[in-house]
Structure 1
Amino acid sequence: MSTSPIENGELSEAGGASPFAGLGPDESPYFNRELSWLQFNQRVLAEACNEAYPLLERLRFLSISGSNLDEFMMIRVAGLVGQAQRGIERPSIDGLSPTQQLAAIRDKLAELSARQQRIWRTLRDALASADIHVADEQRVKPAAHNWLKSFFLEEILPIITPQALDPAHPFPFVQNEGMGLLFTLTRDADKEQLIEMVLIPSALPRFVRVPDEVTAAETGGGGALYISIASLIQRYAAALFPGFTIQGDGLFRVLRDSDIEIEEEAEDLVRTFRSAIQRRRRGQVIQLELEEDFDPAAEDVLLEQLGVHEAAVIKTDGMIGIDGLAEIASEDRPDLKFDAYSPRFPERVREHDGDAFSAIREKDIIIHHPYESFEVVVDFIRQAAADPDVVAIKQTLYRAGSQSAVINALIEAAEAGKSVTAVVELKARFDEEQNLKWASKLERAGVQVIYGFTDWKTHAKVAMVVRREGSSFRTYCHFGTGNYHPVTAKIYTDLSFFTADPKLGRDAAKMFNFVTGYVEPHALERIHIAPIDLRKEIYRRIDAEIADAQAGRPAGIWMKCNQITDEGIIDRLYAASNAGVTIELLVRGICCLRPGIAGLSENIRVKSIIGRFLEHSRIYAFANGAAMPSPKAAVYISSADLMSRNLDRRVEALIPILNRTIHDQVLQQVLLANMLDTEQSWWLNPDGSYSRVESAMEGGGKPFNCHRYFMTNPSLSGRGGALEAGAVPKLSLRRGAAA
């Protein structure tokens, strides 16, 4: 790995100024990774306040901010807690110890939690105005009350189990993300007080919806009425505790350490992961959420029995488990949601009567999801499975989802006698259990299942089909920036690149041999692979831009990714900025790079887009001696973000885009539209805060929404001959703030 430009003085040499000229004496040239993530989740939460969005979409953003935060606590905060407990003082990129980071995170958590509850109260009132009601403690009308009580007695009471908390009864185990109620009771016969716990089974939904016919009978109209399972149990708890007087009750929720650590010497990876998944459910408590008026005596019991020491205790006077609002956001009210969108099927494939191989053989194709259908990817594998001339299929599977057409196609191919190899990544966080199930099903069908490296994740998204054509074989490849997941493909923006380029085919074969047989690839012709040479190629390209800038030639770097945290990459970009390279970064989530600092990063701007779709594609473009954007630019797509884990501890692929039409689409359509966006964009400020890009563009231009642009305009690569070139509006860099 190359030395940091900050360490070897390249910054001051390149730019002629101190690298810290714009920083105070105690300021770090980097942002903290964890605090940057919390800023990202604040931007997600801000979308719940976006009045331009339909009401249920705003509610969905609120629920997403909750599920995001849960995962952050279970993984990132849990890791810091573990380091602090073991006395590990390894500082973060900005110099903070684990203990210092935990303190800073907890300050932000209280603020974030309070903001979530304020937004929920606002949205709850708005939902009521739209005839969607969420009942908690308030009275409900007689018909609804009768239905709810009957539902409780018949559907809930037989499932839940109260347990006394006393020396005769061991404290029950509360699983990760588990919710429960503590009741403080007085026995009517002898006035003895006791505490009872009722755990809410995870199989139950978070909310119960009263049937329309019940509410309609009383109101004479429509409307939806929801009540949380916890509120339902509290409302009718007297039926659960006959002979007792309920003095008080309180809801709580537990989050546990959910990271899975696998020892390098693990002999049986599958057995080890099955065991680790079981351990995850019993991990250390990391966060305990309580209702604000939780009974103090009951709280003391809970804290002691759960062993809450390093955990964050969050008390709220609102909803516990904000993520559960996703159930209400699914209410069938099209008038309160984004207009339905049906992805296009690429015209170029239609011109070949749906024959993917014929279309790819004619010309490389890139598919832009979710604007273009993921069915193209599924059809590619299905056709390979059904085609008698296909002899082999190889595919990586990182996340495939619970209902995967791709998996079924691979099974069909194996059952048809084809050679099928699937690299199933067991270490895909929170998908480990699903991937184990898929692996077993694939193996039973005769697929050769490989689990890859013990200490590296196989994160590259590659499918390879070998087809007999005449007297020889041709290799068709799919390279993706996203997963083979049919659900996320509808909401994540990703690129699917199809090619029959022999050089890319040979490189793909070497990559699979690397993963399946540990045969390190030599003499790669096009692809760059992490952890072998992907970092080196990014460095080489940045260094070339530095050389061009120093020689007075045009120099520029455009990058689009999800996170930038790697110190080596950041320092290289700092060196490029100091040399005069203009750098535009589109970073959706975490960004540890500080833009706009004199002598360090004054030529770097960072933008984050948060909108209807989740920006997920990774694109890296370099001016290569001509003003951006130009046909001369070096353009790559990748599965890798600019993080140390992606560059050094994962198998990733970096693919050059050489076809002229696809090059134009990726650079002058996808990247440029993201740079021009004004309606969904946030600028990263030098102090680490984010501010919205003004809707009214500089110079009085019109607002521009890149998601709307892609929804309404065909892609350059997939449009085929049926559409005129003029059907795709030409974007200009002068149009927006990214000039």
Structure 2
Amino acid sequence: MKSQANVFINRELSWIEFNKRVLLTGMEKEYKILDQVKFCSIFSNNLDEFYMVRVASLKAQVEAGITKTSIDGLSPKEQLTKINKEVKNLTDLQENFVNDLVNNKLKKQGVFLKNYKDLTENQKNWCNNFFTSSIFPLLTPLVVDPAHPFPFISNLSLNIAALIKDREDTKNQFVRIKIPTKNINRFIQIPNEIIQSSDEISHFFISVEDLIGNNINALFNGMECINYSFFRVTRDADLELKELEADDLLLAVEKSLQKRRLGGDVVRLEVKSDIPQNILKLLIESISIQKEYIYFCKSLLGLDDLNQLTKINRDDLKENLLIGKTHQDLKNLDSPSNKNLNSIFKIIRKKNILLHHPYDLFKTSVEEFINRAADDPLVMAIKITLYRVSKDSPIISALMRAAENGKEVMTLVELKARFDEDNNIQWAKQLEQAGIHVVYGIIGFKTHTKIALVVRKEKGRLRNYFHIGTGNYNSNTSRFYTDLGLLSTDPDIASDLLELFNYLSGFSKQKRYKKLLVSPSSMREKFIFLIKREIKNAEEGKKAEIIAKMNSLVDPEIIKLLYLASNAGVKISLIVRGICCLYPQRKNLSENIQVISIIGHFLEHSRIFWFCNDNDHEVFIGSADWMRRNLDRRIEAITPIEEYELKNQIHTLLQIYIKDDYYSWIMKEDGSYSKYKLDVANNRSQIDLIKK
């Protein structure tokens, strides 16, 4: 095989290419304007997390003198150089687009982000009164001098750096003011009557930093502000957990979260492009950051806050994404007069049900399954894994109610779900207080699997019902993430799930399962077997094909096998939303591999693995991507789909994605992506699935 650099794409650069697709999607004229704003916000939020975790890790490696190369042969320093170059190009593109949105496109649609200096005296008076009553009490200017060291700048906070002086003294003093964006909206709406606009559909805003900046002298009675500018820092926010030394994992995560709130090293400094040089110099000296990690912004800082504007109640400016209907096999459960708690269990006993969210409503399927189990007197126990749950979770409420009803309830709460740790800690405490047995999983492994098991007593015997999904038990994200799930009573899979739950609670060392693919024990081995079987079939002249849909494809061993399969004649179609470290369509390497990425209104989150097996198809769905972390360092579960009808449903679904010529980005042999250039798109996967 060729050198590493010629067969693997750098993971970080592939992620940047993914985020570029998000941004470019938002810039397409076919999207309504508030949807364009949403994509710009997502791009910025993604970038913040990328710097907090991935860039922070690379920067730490450089500072520690680590030179170990990535799978494509780049050192940490070389990766950082390429990352900074690519990101600066993309943020320039984003800022130009956002400035045009704010200054032109939004105005034409009646959404105005006003500049304080352009307001009338009456409008300024309203804004000043709002500042005095609602903002001023929240502000705390911190001076920097020999008696007051430079204050700690919290992660992702928006700040003002100002130079002030006593009117009777020529010496300037440096002051930092944190803008309280968590306690007040970033964009403050000015009432229409103050604008003197009779147009009821128009909306007028002023940014909170613009308002504070123009009232800054109110903070320094008897002094004068010479100059000010805005800045924002991004810090290393990855948790460092010493699990083996922790007697109480809950306490260990809480302590790590406290460190995160304080923040690690600064990995990025964002400033306004017109920042005065004397203020910039003071910031660089005080924060101790190299110039290559300074980003000069031509638009607003912290563009993820643009998401606030998407909440404007204007249906003409955004798509209605609240779609979905009750799965056809569960429709009779909709009736308020249907009080038969047994009905959902009767339905699942008769047939396995394949769910596809958000097109199939999460509320009337998965939530219904847990709710009915909580209230059914024949249900003896409920076991479930919780990775990310919504803040006001109906499933959590149902689990607590089940415990009150005397059922045995066991939940695994993954405390290390990145950026959801705090939320999960609070849920873990509430669940324990409700009398639920809460466990935190296996030391050294993150539990990422999405499984729920209901044990029901029927005719003197226990029967197991279960749900296995590709997405979290989260009512909010289920409306915007596409995910698959299986409701079933298959006895072999149920037996595997019982063993897996016992393993998670620490009472089993099970490593072999009847049907489930479980990592880190059996999943990698099974996928290798399945790919090698397709290679063997191709070599023997049998029909050989692989279709796989996932979030990320990174694992070197899997990629090498896919290259071998391609060279053996296996047709391979990969639907990879995010990172893809494989080169497609390369001569003598991957000529039979096609890679597409679907970027649309819904986040494509489902993982599907389809193997032709000489027309005796084997199909799987579950929680794992083809990444080292999923295959080796996480607890994951993937279930086979065995019924002929459900296999066909999944194959039809995969073909809808493969034929997409609207949301689909095609990966080229150099690792870049392009969209179809069609005047009229014939296949819009997400729209077509809504209509089904």
Please say whether Structure 1 and Structure 2 have the same fold, judged by a TM-score greater than 0.5: yes
* 2:362 paired residue among 374, 384, 398: 374
CA contact (8 A) 1:395 1:421 kept: yes
Partner residue in 2 for 1:69: 47
Partner residue in 2 for 1:235: 214
Give, in angstroms, the shift of residue 78 of structure 1. 0.5
The alignment partner of 2:6 has SS state of coil
Give, in angstroms, the shift of residue 523 of structure 1. 4.7
Partner residue in 1 for 2:664: 681
Q: How far apart are the structure 1 equivalents of 2:171 and 2:113?
A: 36
| Residues 1:93 and 2:81 are matched in the alignment | no
Partner residue in 2 for 1:8: none
Structure 1 gaps of 5+ residues are 1-18, 627-631, 714-739
Partner residue in 2 for 1:578: 567
* 1:177 paired residue among 146, 156, 173: 156
| Residues 1:342 and 2:331 are matched in the alignment | no
TM-score normalised by length of structure 1: 0.90
Q: How far apart are the structure 1 equivalents of 2:227 and 2:354?
A: 60
| Residues 1:186 and 2:158 are matched in the alignment | no
Partner residue in 1 for 2:118: 139
The alignment partner of 1:158 has SS state of helix
Report 1:203-214 matches (<5 A): 203-214=182-193
Q: How far apart are the structure 1 equivalents of 2:376 and 2:33?
A: 47
| Residues 1:418 and 2:407 are matched in the alignment | yes
Partner residue in 2 for 1:485: 474
Q: Which amino acid aligns with 2:48?
A: D
Give, in angstroms, the shift of residue 215 of structure 1. 4.2
Give, in angstroms, the shift of residue 469 of structure 1. 0.5
CA contact (8 A) 1:462 1:479 kept: yes
Q: How far apart are the structure 1 equivalents of 2:291 and 2:72?
A: 23
Partner residue in 2 for 1:274: 254
Q: How far apart are the structure 1 equivalents of 2:290 and 2:505?
A: 44
* 1:616 paired residue among 594, 601, 605: 605
Q: Which amino acid aligns with 1:679?
A: Y
Partner residue in 1 for 2:23: 45
Moved more, 336-345 or 284-293: 336-345
CA contact (8 A) 1:606 1:684 kept: yes
The alignment partner of 1:153 has SS state of helix
Question: CA, structure 1 residues 90+397, in 2 after alignment: closer, same or farther (shift >3 Å)?
Answer: same
The alignment partner of 2:419 has SS state of coil
Moved more, 434-443 or 194-203: 194-203
Give, in angstroms, the shift of residue 87 of structure 1. 1.5
Give, in angstroms, the shift of residue 216 of structure 1. 5.6
Q: Which amino acid aligns with 2:660?
A: D
Q: How far apart are the structure 1 equivalents of 2:184 and 2:21?
A: 28
Partner residue in 1 for 2:143: 164
CA contact (8 A) 1:186 1:192 kept: yes
Partner residue in 2 for 1:5: none
Q: Which amino acid aligns with 1:66?
A: S
Aligned-pair identity (%): 38
Question: CA, structure 1 residues 518+75, in 2 after alignment: closer, same or farther (shift >3 Å)?
Answer: farther
Cα deviation 1:254-273 (Å, max 9, x = unaligned): 11101012124222211111
Higher RCO structure, 1 or 2 (CA under 8 Å, sep 6+): 1
Q: How far apart are the structure 1 equivalents of 2:401 and 2:373?
A: 10
TM-score normalised by length of structure 2: 0.96
| Residues 1:317 and 2:306 are matched in the alignment | no
Partner residue in 2 for 1:672: 655
CA contact (8 A) 2:69 2:75 kept: yes
Q: Which amino acid aligns with 2:435?
A: G
Cα deviation 1:18-70 (Å, max 9, x = unaligned): x44xxxx8942110000000000000001221111111001000000000000
Cα deviation 1:502-546 (Å, max 9, x = unaligned): 111101101111111152225522111000010111111100000
Q: Which amino acid aligns with 1:208?
A: F
* 1:409 paired residue among 382, 386, 398: 398
Structure 2 gaps of 5+ residues are none
Q: How far apart are the structure 2 equivalents of 1:218 and 1:45?
A: 33
Give, in angstroms, the shift of residue 304 of structure 1. 2.0
Partner residue in 1 for 2:107: 128
* 1:262 paired residue among 235, 241, 250: 241
Q: How far apart are the structure 2 equivalents of 1:213 and 1:309?
A: 46
Give, in angstroms, the shift of residue 218 of structure 1. 4.6
CA contact (8 A) 1:144 1:214 kept: no
The alignment partner of 2:7 has SS state of coil
Cα deviation 1:394-416 (Å, max 9, x = unaligned): 00000012111111111111111
| Residues 1:519 and 2:508 are matched in the alignment | yes
How many equivalent pairs are there? 681
CA contact (8 A) 2:598 2:604 kept: yes
Report 1:242-261 matches (<5 A): 242-261=221-240
Q: How far apart are the structure 2 equivalents of 1:218 and 1:381?
A: 50
Partner residue in 2 for 1:447: 436
Q: Which amino acid aligns with 1:374?
A: F
The alignment partner of 2:505 has SS state of helix
Moved more, 184-193 or 29-38: 184-193
Give, in angstroms, the shift of residue 242 of structure 1. 3.1
Give, in angstroms, the shift of residue 475 of structure 1. 0.2
Partner residue in 1 for 2:264: 283
Moved more, 336-345 or 435-444: 336-345
Large movers: runs of 4+ above 4 Å: 218-222
CA contact (8 A) 1:286 1:310 kept: no
Report 1:336-735 matches (<5 A): 336-351=317-332, 355-375=343-363, 376-517=365-506, 519-626=508-615, 632-668=616-652, 670-695=653-678, 703-713=682-692
The alignment partner of 1:50 has SS state of coil
Give, in angstroms, the shift of residue 712 of structure 1. 0.7
Give, in angstroms, the shift of residue 493 of structure 1. 0.3
Q: Which amino acid aligns with 1:362?
A: K
